[in-house]
Chains A and B, each alone.
Chain A
Amino acid sequence: MEPRTAIPFEPGPLTPPRAERASAVISTRGLTKRYGALTALRGLDLEVQPGEIFGFLGLNGAGKTTAIRLLLDFIRPSAGQAHIFGYDCWSQSLEVRARVGYLPGELGLYLDLTGLETLDFLAGLGRQAVDRRRRQELCDRLELAQSDLRRRLREYSTGMKRKLGIIQAFQTNPPLLILDEPTEGLDPIMQGSFYDLLAEVKRAGATVFMSSHVLSEVERVCDRIALLRKGELVLLATVQESRRLAPRNVRVVFSREVELPEPLPAGYELLEATPRLWRLSVAGSLGPLLEVLQGLPVLDLDVQEARLEDVVLRYYREEET
């Protein structure tokens, strides 16, 4: 493997001035896209703050890609507004796109070009010169060797194409990265490298807006999430807040046999009860449980934090029903 040279991420000259950075990086108001009778996105109100990693979730067809394509001026809205770094996404879309690194969900590449030709061509279309050392560092981190870059893309595996997609999005050090399903097709080790890369650009002040199906990934890297359902925003919260929306599992072990309290506090559900063990589902505060346990011979108390998956899957199931 080629040696890794750690080149710290440095925001490029297109990083907005401090005053500009103080306001939301992405801001949408009532953003709507209709295709005839079908509403793909309905009244999206969203603000993504500088330096955050924002997860955009939803089932297939929920409107995630539609929203991303609206932000990049690939498609035009039926109603509403969208701004990136304060620039209107349609009337000032060139300014917007000069500051964005974009990774599409499905990469459309010319298979007769080499990886290097593709990267050079795409770099040439931007306003900002690409730092070769930065590109090399990205290639090293994602284990895309120079010999790979000299090969034609028709010889690339799905994962290699994805890596190339990530490199082309990151290579200009844009202040905003819009990533559509970034780890689709990457192996777990490369996913780890990608998460490290995200953490690095976040530390350097870049903002990341990413859609993903992988809830564990979102939970791991995102600060806030938005959940779309049938084109509508149904959840907008930090990952921590989201977790609190799901009931926690509590397991209480007693040193001797105890009686069950009647009735249980509101929001509590008994999942399993033996004379020496209770398993409860607790929605809300744990305070009432501590009151119930007062005076009882508690040997062990285990509170399992809800996973983001529990919350999101609940929304997904609601959508299905």
Chain B
Amino acid sequence: MRIGFLLWRLSLKRVWPLLAATGLLLAGFQLLRVLIAASVHNAGEFAQIAELLPPFVRALLGPALTSVMSFSGIVCGGYFDLGIVIALVVLNIALATVPASEIETGFADLILARPLRRHWLITRTIALVWFATVVMLLMIQAGTWTGLALFAPSDAAAPSGRQMVALALNLGMLALCWSGVALAFGAAFRRGVAGGTTSLLAFAALLIDYAQQLWPPLERLGWVSPFRYFRPFELVMGNPLPVEHLLILWAVAMTGYIVAYLVISQRDIAR
């Protein structure tokens, strides 16, 4: 455990500026969202904004349109805004490919020349990715609560705590799912290959998810995309978070982690 902690602490020491910057940006973005939502609410312009949305966005939102185009919906948008989803997924991919980078640069040689098992490279990375994800979600939450406390109009219905926790859980699990994929690739290949392949897969999965929502014949293919199990609009509408969605994302992450453990234990550590 001591060795795992040392490895984790070193990695954290190296990535904390990135985590701090990303976390502050996410929190700041959420503050801004609340401010915008308050401004729109005070002007009573939600219906007009909804009118401006392109037809395909309206189609994607479906019955959630009314919920999303409300003070609560815009505030919750910080949990499913495409930019934020991509930022979290990319952060997870970057962190999950740390072992690949260590092998590539030769730093793993210095680590593994000491009496420690290879699995610590993976275990440390999983701990780092989970920690980073939780911190990012907490920063979004902090931004939301601060924004609500400062800017929320008294007559606006704020999102419930349960709703925000459900959104955070769903978003976090989606990001962690991609960390599993990246870690599995990162245990076998160079960082560029692992990161690039996972990013491409994530992009393809995102497109598949959009496509299957807009074009019914593709619905049968939709299950392959992890984004199918990230349904924030339903949560904004007040529906409960389906546990099976969380389990599926968790299972993908776990499968990736297990593959990574197996690969790292068998492979040659060579640049």
Contacts and interface: CB of A to CB of B under 8 A. Distances in A.
B116 A72 contact: no
A264 to B, nearest CB: 52
- Among A74, A121, A126, A127, which residue has the most Cβ atoms of chain B within 10 A? A74
State which size class the interface on B falls in. Answer: 20 to 34
Given A75-B270, A121-B6, A108 B115 contact: no
B270 A74 contact: yes
Given A106-B106, A107-B106, A108-B107, A74 B112 contact: yes
Interface string B112-123: 111111000000
Contacts of A110: 14, 105, 107
A292 interface: no
Contact of B113 (A100, A121, A127): A100
B107 A127 contact: no
A69 B110 contact: no
A168 interface: yes
Interface in B2-30: 2-3, 6-7, 10, 13-14
A217 interface: no
Interface in A96-153: 97-98, 100, 102, 104, 106-110, 112-113, 117, 121-122, 124-127
Nearest to A165: B110
A205 to B, nearest CB: 21
B108 interface: yes
Interface in B94-114: 102, 105-114
A10 interface: no
B117 A108 contact: no
Interface in A45-103: 69, 72-76, 94-95, 97-98, 100, 102
B244 interface: no
Given A106-B106, A121-B10, A168-B110, A76 B268 contact: yes
B36 interface: no
Given A107-B110, A110-B107, A75 B14 contact: no
Interface string B82-100: 0000000000000000000
A113 B117 CA distance: 23
A125 B114 contact: yes
B3 A108 contact: no
Contacts of B10: 113, 121
B109 A98 contact: no
A125 B111 contact: yes
A129 to B, nearest CB: 13
B35 to A, nearest CB: 36
B106, B110, B116, B269: most-surrounded residue (chain A CB, <10 A): B110
- Tell which of A74, A113, A121, A125 has the most Cβ of chain B within 10 Å: A125
B106 A72 contact: no
A75 B115 contact: no
A125 B109 contact: no
Contacts of A100: 113
Contacts of A69: 268-270
A96 to B, nearest CB: 8
Contacts of A97: 112-115
Contacts of B2: 124
B120 to A, nearest CB: 9
Interface string A173-204: 00000000000000000000000000000000
Contacts of A104: 106, 109-110, 113
Contacts of B114: 97-98, 122, 125-126
A47 B6 CA distance: 36
B14 A112 contact: yes
Interface string B248-271: 000000000000000000101110
A94 B2 CA distance: 16
A316 B107 CA distance: 32
Contacts of B112: 72-74, 97
Contact of A108 (B6, B13, B109): B109
Contacts of B269: 69, 74-75
Interface in B181-204: none
Contacts of B266: 76
Nearest to B117: A94
Given A74-B269, A75-B270, 18 more contacts: A69-B270, A72-B113, A73-B112, A75-B268, A94-B117, A95-B115, A97-B112, A97-B114, A98-B115, A100-B113, A108-B108, A110-B105, A121-B6, A122-B110, A122-B114, A124-B2, A126-B115, A168-B110
13 contacts: A69-B268, A74-B109, A95-B115, A97-B113, A97-B115, A104-B110, A108-B107, A108-B108, A108-B110, A113-B10, A121-B6, A121-B10, A125-B111
Interface of A: 69, 72-76, 94-95, 97-98, 100, 102, 104, 106-110, 112-113, 117, 121-122, 124-127, 168
Closest 10 CB pairs of A and B: A108-B106, A102-B113, A125-B114, A75-B268, A98-B115, A108-B105, A74-B269, A108-B107, A94-B115, A97-B115
